[in-house]
Amino acid sequence: MDAEGEGFAQFVEARQRALQRTAWLLTGDWALAEDLVQTALARSWPRWERIRRRDDPEIYVRRAMVHSWASWRRRRWWGERATEAVPDSPAIGDMAAEVAVCVTVQRALRSLTARQRAVLVLRVFDDLSEAQVAQVLDCATGTVKATLARAVARLREDPRLAGLMDRETQ
């Protein structure tokens, strides 16, 4: 394997978990998340050396990921829809609590627009700076701030998520 291929392999090895977790928050499905990460990496690999020289590879791959996800959402076959009633999963004990958190978060994320969700995930979960989020989404920093504020306000309207957040605060 050449140096370029080696560098790419190292990046994938080091970042695939974080990328998949971000992708899951965007898609809400592990199979789609894996597909999304592979798609973004497949787009990046042929120009990896250029990306590595000119850009932050992490930002580039995340941008490819968000753009791919946005384009998937525009396709008709994209079946995800916001729903009021989320089916309960059978669970007991602590696992039940984990599932409840997972389901509540998923439902809350689905209530956001695509851009709100992307901003929230990149800024809050991935801890990117506002400037980096703006770079990923090709928008102004002010747009990132405003979108994030609207996203958080929207999440606060979800009584179950607000309850979980209050519980975390206590």
> Of 120 and 137, which has the nearer Cβ to other proteins?
120
Cβ 15 to other proteins shortest distance, Å: 9
CA angle 35, 39, 43 (to 5 degrees): 170
- Specify burial of residue 133 (Cβ count, 10 A radius: 0-12, 13-18, 19+): buried
Cβ 104 to other proteins shortest distance, Å: 8
Give φ, ψ of 75 to 5 degrees.
Answer: -75, 150
> Of 24 and 137, which has the nearer Cβ to other proteins?
24
Cβ 4 to other proteins shortest distance, Å: 11
Q: What is the binding site for other proteins (CB under 8 A)? A: 5, 8-9, 12-13, 16-17, 19-21, 24-25, 30, 33-34, 37-39, 41-42, 45-46, 98, 101-102, 104-106, 120-121, 123-125, 127, 152, 155, 161, 164-165, 168-169
C-alpha–C-alpha distance, residues 138 and 49, integer Å: 22
Cα dihedral across residues 159, 96, 19, 129: positive or negative: positive
Give φ, ψ of 91 to 5 degrees.
Answer: -160, 155
Cβ 148 to other proteins shortest distance, Å: 9
